[in-house]
Amino acid sequence: MKVVFLDRDGVINIYPGEGRYVNKWGEFSFIPGSIEGIRKLNEKGFKVFVVSNQAGVAKGLYTFKDLLYINKKMTGVLKKQGAFLEGIHYCIHQEGQECSCRKPKTGLLQRALKESKTNPRISFLVGDSLKDIKTAVNFGAKSILVLSGKEKIANRNKWDVEPDYIFDNLLVAAYYICSHYG
Protein backbone atom coordinates (compact mmCIF):
# COMPACT_ATOMS: atom_id res chain seq x y z
CA MET A 1 0.00 0.00 0.00
CA LYS A 2 1.17 3.50 -0.86
CA VAL A 3 0.24 6.44 1.37
CA VAL A 4 0.46 10.21 1.05
CA PHE A 5 -0.16 12.38 4.09
CA LEU A 6 -1.07 15.99 3.33
CA ASP A 7 -1.02 19.01 5.57
CA ARG A 8 -4.08 21.16 4.90
CA ASP A 9 -3.38 24.91 5.12
CA GLY A 10 -0.78 25.89 2.52
CA VAL A 11 -1.00 22.53 0.73
CA ILE A 12 -4.68 22.04 -0.13
CA ASN A 13 -6.02 25.49 0.67
CA ILE A 14 -4.45 28.93 0.63
CA TYR A 15 -2.29 29.56 3.71
CA PRO A 16 -4.04 32.20 5.85
CA GLY A 17 -0.79 33.71 7.14
CA GLU A 18 1.36 33.37 10.25
CA GLY A 19 -0.78 33.18 13.39
CA ARG A 20 -4.01 33.21 11.38
CA TYR A 21 -6.49 30.40 10.85
CA VAL A 22 -9.21 29.34 8.45
CA ASN A 23 -12.06 29.86 10.92
CA LYS A 24 -15.03 29.16 8.64
CA TRP A 25 -15.80 27.71 5.23
CA GLY A 26 -16.04 31.15 3.63
CA GLU A 27 -12.33 31.66 4.37
CA PHE A 28 -11.31 28.39 2.71
CA SER A 29 -9.98 28.64 -0.86
CA PHE A 30 -8.41 25.72 -2.69
CA ILE A 31 -4.92 26.29 -4.06
CA PRO A 32 -5.14 25.98 -7.85
CA GLY A 33 -4.25 22.41 -8.83
CA SER A 34 -4.59 20.90 -5.35
CA ILE A 35 -7.79 19.02 -6.19
CA GLU A 36 -6.22 17.66 -9.37
CA GLY A 37 -3.15 16.63 -7.37
CA ILE A 38 -5.25 14.60 -4.94
CA ARG A 39 -7.17 13.04 -7.83
CA LYS A 40 -3.89 12.04 -9.56
CA LEU A 41 -2.67 10.37 -6.36
CA ASN A 42 -6.00 8.51 -6.06
CA GLU A 43 -5.76 7.33 -9.68
CA LYS A 44 -2.31 5.84 -9.01
CA GLY A 45 -3.57 3.90 -6.00
CA PHE A 46 -2.29 6.08 -3.18
CA LYS A 47 -4.33 6.35 -0.01
CA VAL A 48 -4.45 10.06 0.82
CA PHE A 49 -4.88 11.38 4.36
CA VAL A 50 -4.98 14.92 5.73
CA VAL A 51 -2.94 15.45 8.92
CA SER A 52 -3.21 18.98 10.27
CA ASN A 53 -2.50 20.97 13.42
CA GLN A 54 -5.61 23.07 14.14
CA ALA A 55 -4.76 24.94 17.35
CA GLY A 56 -7.38 27.59 16.61
CA VAL A 57 -9.92 25.33 18.33
CA ALA A 58 -7.96 25.31 21.62
CA LYS A 59 -7.40 29.06 21.29
CA GLY A 60 -11.15 29.63 20.99
CA LEU A 61 -10.91 31.18 17.52
CA TYR A 62 -13.36 28.64 16.08
CA THR A 63 -15.21 25.63 17.42
CA PHE A 64 -14.69 21.94 16.87
CA LYS A 65 -18.04 21.98 15.08
CA ASP A 66 -16.67 24.69 12.73
CA LEU A 67 -13.65 22.48 11.97
CA LEU A 68 -15.87 19.50 11.19
CA TYR A 69 -18.04 21.65 8.91
CA ILE A 70 -14.99 22.92 6.99
CA ASN A 71 -13.80 19.31 6.59
CA LYS A 72 -17.25 18.22 5.38
CA LYS A 73 -17.44 21.01 2.81
CA MET A 74 -13.86 20.39 1.64
CA THR A 75 -14.44 16.65 1.15
CA GLY A 76 -17.71 17.40 -0.65
CA VAL A 77 -15.97 19.64 -3.18
CA LEU A 78 -13.18 17.07 -3.61
CA LYS A 79 -15.68 14.25 -4.16
CA LYS A 80 -17.59 16.23 -6.81
CA GLN A 81 -14.32 16.57 -8.70
CA GLY A 82 -13.28 12.92 -8.37
CA ALA A 83 -10.77 13.34 -5.55
CA PHE A 84 -11.03 11.41 -2.30
CA LEU A 85 -9.46 11.41 1.15
CA GLU A 86 -9.06 8.22 3.14
CA GLY A 87 -9.35 10.27 6.32
CA ILE A 88 -8.77 13.63 7.99
CA HIS A 89 -6.83 13.72 11.26
CA TYR A 90 -6.12 16.87 13.22
CA CYS A 91 -4.57 18.01 16.46
CA ILE A 92 -6.61 20.72 18.19
CA HIS A 93 -4.03 21.30 20.95
CA GLN A 94 -1.91 24.42 21.28
CA GLU A 95 1.85 24.34 21.22
CA GLY A 96 3.02 23.63 24.75
CA GLN A 97 0.05 21.42 25.61
CA GLU A 98 1.09 17.84 26.24
CA CYS A 99 -0.20 15.53 23.52
CA SER A 100 1.12 12.91 21.11
CA CYS A 101 -0.68 14.27 18.06
CA ARG A 102 0.73 17.77 17.49
CA LYS A 103 3.21 17.76 14.64
CA PRO A 104 6.19 17.24 14.59
CA LYS A 105 5.09 14.29 16.75
CA THR A 106 3.77 11.38 14.72
CA GLY A 107 0.51 10.58 16.52
CA LEU A 108 -1.73 11.87 13.70
CA LEU A 109 0.00 9.67 11.13
CA GLN A 110 -0.07 6.63 13.39
CA ARG A 111 -3.78 7.17 14.11
CA ALA A 112 -4.55 7.48 10.40
CA LEU A 113 -2.86 4.18 9.60
CA LYS A 114 -4.38 2.37 12.58
CA GLU A 115 -7.95 3.51 11.88
CA SER A 116 -7.70 2.59 8.20
CA LYS A 117 -5.83 -0.66 8.89
CA THR A 118 -3.13 0.44 6.45
CA ASN A 119 0.47 -0.73 6.49
CA PRO A 120 2.28 1.30 3.85
CA ARG A 121 5.29 0.02 1.98
CA ILE A 122 6.04 3.62 1.07
CA SER A 123 4.76 6.88 2.50
CA PHE A 124 5.15 10.59 1.84
CA LEU A 125 4.25 13.64 3.85
CA VAL A 126 3.57 16.78 1.82
CA GLY A 127 3.64 19.97 3.86
CA ASP A 128 4.37 23.66 3.68
CA SER A 129 6.31 24.02 6.95
CA LEU A 130 9.45 22.68 8.55
CA LYS A 131 7.22 21.10 11.24
CA ASP A 132 5.76 18.93 8.49
CA ILE A 133 9.23 17.95 7.30
CA LYS A 134 10.30 17.08 10.85
CA THR A 135 7.14 14.98 11.22
CA ALA A 136 8.04 13.04 8.07
CA VAL A 137 11.58 12.47 9.35
CA ASN A 138 10.28 11.34 12.76
CA PHE A 139 7.84 8.93 11.09
CA GLY A 140 10.23 7.60 8.46
CA ALA A 141 8.26 8.98 5.50
CA LYS A 142 9.70 10.75 2.49
CA SER A 143 9.34 14.50 3.06
CA ILE A 144 8.08 16.94 0.45
CA LEU A 145 8.02 20.67 1.08
CA VAL A 146 5.68 22.68 -1.12
CA LEU A 147 6.29 26.39 -1.54
CA SER A 148 2.59 27.26 -1.77
CA GLY A 149 2.29 28.10 1.93
CA LYS A 150 4.42 29.07 4.91
CA GLU A 151 8.03 28.30 3.96
CA LYS A 152 9.89 30.16 1.23
CA ILE A 153 12.99 28.99 -0.62
CA ALA A 154 14.68 32.32 0.16
CA ASN A 155 14.88 31.21 3.81
CA ARG A 156 16.54 27.88 3.02
CA ASN A 157 19.85 28.87 4.64
CA LYS A 158 17.96 29.22 7.97
CA TRP A 159 16.22 25.83 7.84
CA ASP A 160 17.19 23.31 10.52
CA VAL A 161 15.93 20.35 8.49
CA GLU A 162 16.18 19.56 4.79
CA PRO A 163 13.23 18.02 2.91
CA ASP A 164 13.77 15.10 0.55
CA TYR A 165 12.03 17.05 -2.22
CA ILE A 166 10.85 20.62 -2.82
CA PHE A 167 8.09 21.52 -5.28
CA ASP A 168 6.02 24.61 -6.03
CA ASN A 169 2.70 23.06 -5.01
CA LEU A 170 0.76 19.85 -4.43
CA LEU A 171 -0.01 19.30 -8.10
CA VAL A 172 3.67 19.30 -9.08
CA ALA A 173 4.48 17.08 -6.08
CA ALA A 174 1.69 14.65 -7.05
CA TYR A 175 2.96 14.38 -10.61
CA TYR A 176 6.45 13.61 -9.29
CA ILE A 177 5.20 11.01 -6.80
CA CYS A 178 3.00 9.34 -9.42
CA SER A 179 5.69 9.24 -12.10
CA HIS A 180 8.40 7.87 -9.79
CA TYR A 181 6.47 5.80 -7.25
CA GLY A 182 3.05 5.18 -8.83
Active site members: 7, 9
- Distance from C-alpha of 125 to C-alpha of 18, rounded to nearest angstrom: 21
List beta partners, residue 47: 3
- Distance from C-alpha of 174 to C-alpha of 36, rounded to nearest angstrom: 9
Which runs of consecutive H residues, i.e. helices, occur in 104-150? 107-116, 130-139
Task: Give the count of alpha carbons within 13 A of 11, CB side only.
Answer: 27
Which CA distances in Å does 181 have to 121, 172, 175?
11, 14, 10
118 residue type, one letter:
T
